[in-house]
Structure 1
Amino acid sequence: MFNITDGRIYMNDDAGNMIAEVTFPNIDDNTIIIDHTFVDDSLRGQGIAAKLMLEVINYAKTHNKKIKASCSYAVKWFDKNKDEYKDIYVG
């Protein structure tokens, strides 16, 4: 479903157009920052952005990273789920 690279998780449609994306560059050796989330209008309301957040969490855990967020969606998502992810989300 998702393509995962360092600093980016995304999904393309059948024509190769990017339809969902989250970017998370390293800010130091131990921390990434979610700075952008995008979901195409055609996918809104299907929980795709939340799935992107879970993919970033899996990526961070696999790579022993903590997560910060500057993207407004990610900040709100982690605020809503802070108890569950307090071990990995550092604000």
Structure 2
Amino acid sequence: MFTVEKERVFLEEEGKIVAEINWVFLEEKVIDVNRTFVDESQRGKGLAEKLVLAVIEIAKKEELKIVPSCSYVENYFNKHEELSSLLVTP
């Protein structure tokens, strides 16, 4: 369903990106998840959450810590405190 590339996970339909989450490396093992996008035509299908879950799986597999600078991602982690071990702590 999703395509994983360097620093992003996305869904493409008919040559158009309809959902995407992006991050940048701040340090070797720390990523800043800074953007989540879902096209209006795809909203309400849970794609944003699926994108966040995809990044969480990548972070777990690669032992990465997350800085959630995207508001959607920040809100997701606020609602799922059991995932707080993945976050960079101040």
TM-score, normalization: structure 2? 0.93
- Number of aligned residue pairs: 89
Partner residue in 1 for 2:71: 72
1:90 equivalent to 2:85? Answer no
Structure 1: tracts of 5 or more residues without a match: none
Structure 2: tracts of 5 or more residues without a match: none
- Aligned equivalents of 2:56 and 2:5: distance in 1? 14
1:55 equivalent to 2:54? Answer yes
- Aligned equivalents of 1:72 and 1:3: distance in 2? 22
1:35-76 deviation digits (Å, cap 9, x = unpaired): 000001111111100000000001111111011111111111
Aligned-pair Cα RMSD in Å: 1.1
Cα distance, 1:89 vs. partner?
Answer: 2.0
- Aligned equivalents of 2:87 and 2:53: distance in 1? 12
Please list every run of at least 4 consecutive aligned residues from structure 1 whose deviation after the TM superposition is greater than 6 angstroms: none
Partner residue in 2 for 1:42: 41
Partner residue in 2 for 1:5: 5
1:21-43 deviation digits (Å, cap 9, x = unpaired): 00011110111011000001111
- Aligned equivalents of 1:72 and 1:86: distance in 2? 16
